[in-house]
Structure 1
Amino acid sequence: MKTLKKYAFMAMLFMLAAACKKDNESIDTEKPTIAIDFETAFPKQCSTIKRGTTFTFRSKLADNVALGSYSIDVHNNFDHHSHSTEIGECTVEPIKTPIKPFTLVKTVNIPGQPQQYDAEMQIDIPADIDPGNYHFMIQVTDLSGWSTQKGISIRILE
């Protein structure tokens, strides 16, 4: 009887280990990607945008399993801070105190859980905001919760 219990216990451990191994193989461990290196992508590093105009944000998002959402965060960089995701230096205006800075935070759920998605969003820049240096942050999150950020330095002109 002891031998039977011993073998039953060992068989149960083997099945449990096999089940765990199978689950681990399906776990998403890759972060999604953000591409702005194609011709119609916008904005790109050091892009300039006029106050009182509308532009279309364009980026290609991808994940090895399924995308969940993306978000845009535009905020002033009048104090010359960094997010360590920016890709190169741009013309920087002197440090200044914001009076009426432009701020935009928007999140978009990506429908259908695709592996690739062409993100597009119309963005209005009010005519009465402070011109100057801004950060345009893009974040994409996959269904597993992995996320990637890309920071772009832009200038809003008079």
Structure 2
Amino acid sequence: MIFVSCDKDDDPVDTTAPTITLEEPENGEVFKADETIHFDALFEDDIELATFNLTIHDNFDGHSHGRTMVAPFTFDQSFPLTGKVDDIHEEIEIGAEATAGPYHFIVEAIDAAGNSTTFADNSSIELEIWVTNTGMAHVHFEDANGNEVAEYDGTVGEALKFYGEIEDEVGMLDHVEIKVGHLEEAAEHDHDHARTLEEAIYEGDFEVEGETSVRIEDLLSQDQANIIVTQEELDELEEEEHLYLIVIAEDEDGNISRHSIEIHFD
């Protein structure tokens, strides 16, 4: 007679963290205050899922220049998961008074055995989204005659000329950054949205405290900017990447807005 014993040690040991496939939001996506963020993600584990945590907090460091935000948007909540595969959809409300600017969007998960995703191995997800509101500064890109334009035309090796107005219709401006670089959504959610060249072709910082409106060309003239793009710099761009004029404006209330326009080269 053969006796077979049941030993718990024969049960599979779960040492693998869950995986997360994030469908929405996309890296760099823009949302309006008082609207919702649709969250769509697929969670998978080899044995049993448990929970996931979703965190949203401001990413204003390096942009805020010491300003205090009026009402930064924050969200931190855990949700249950079941089974080996769980497709989750949630609607996240953004407060009507949320400060405009960039925010970190973070997703982490843990399984029933206690294995959790980490940032070290990229199994946790961290990306950047932007929130806009009606009080933030706006930019009107123009040509030399004051007509609004959808893109700028440039010639390799020749100085670029930019025109336009940066205005705050409900308050006052505080700080403006003007850059020429590339601005593309990363193909993967790798917290790399709005990546620019390692060294931007041009970058200028301007204190405009107390102003309600400033001109792009005046700021560039003040900086004695001579912005020239070489063929070598264009060749550094990956496929589907383009050069942009990027304007980041902060107002006295801490709202940060980013506006960009493509620079087209023949």
TM-score, structure 2 normalization:
0.43
Moved over 2 A (4+): 93-99
The alpha-carbon distance between structure 1 residues 153 and 24, as it changes in their structure 2 partners (threshold 3 A), is farther
* Structure 2 counterpart of 1:26, from 2, 12, 34: 12
Partner SS, residue 9 of structure 2: helix
Aligned to 1:46, what secondary structure does the other structure show? coil
1:103-130 Cα distance to aligned partner (Å, 9 max, x none): 11111112xx311111111111111111
Mapped pair 1:98 → 2:69 = yes
Flag the structure with more relative contact order, 1 or 2, with Cα contacts below 8 A and sequence separation at least 6: 1
Question: Unaligned regions of 5+ residues in structure 1, if any?
Answer: 1-14, 81-92
* One-letter amino acid matched to 1:99: V
What is the Cα deviation at residue 57 of structure 1?
Answer: 0.6
Paired residue type of 1:127 = A
Whole-Å separation in 2 of the counterparts to 1:72 and 1:129: 18
| Match of residue 108 from structure 1 | 79
Query: Partner residue of 2:110?
Result: 141
- What secondary structure sits across from 1:147 in the alignment? coil
Q: How does 1:8-157 map to 2 (within 5 A)?
A: 23=9, 26-36=12-22, 41-80=23-62, 95=65, 96-110=67-81, 113-148=82-117, 149-157=124-132
| Deviation (angstroms), 1:32 | 0.3
Specify the code of the residue in structure 1 equivalent to 2:20: I
Taking the aligned partners of 1:55 and 1:73, their CA distance within structure 2 comes to 13
Name stretches of at least 5 consecutive residues in structure 2 with no aligned partner.
118-123, 134-266
Q: For residues 55 and 104 of structure 1, what CA distance do their matches in structure 2 show?
A: 11
Output the CA distance in 2 between the equivalents of 1:45 and 1:59. 13
Within 2, Cα distance between the matches of 1:25 and 1:109?
A: 24
TM-score (ref. length: structure 1) = 0.70
Report the Cα offset of residue 147 of structure 1.
1.2
CA distance in 2, matches of 1:54, 1:97: 24
Bigger fraction of residues in helix = 1
* Cα offsets for 1:60-95 (capped at 9, x unmatched): 110010110111111001115xxxxxxxxxxxx555
Taking only the aligned residue pairs, the percentage that are identical comes to 28
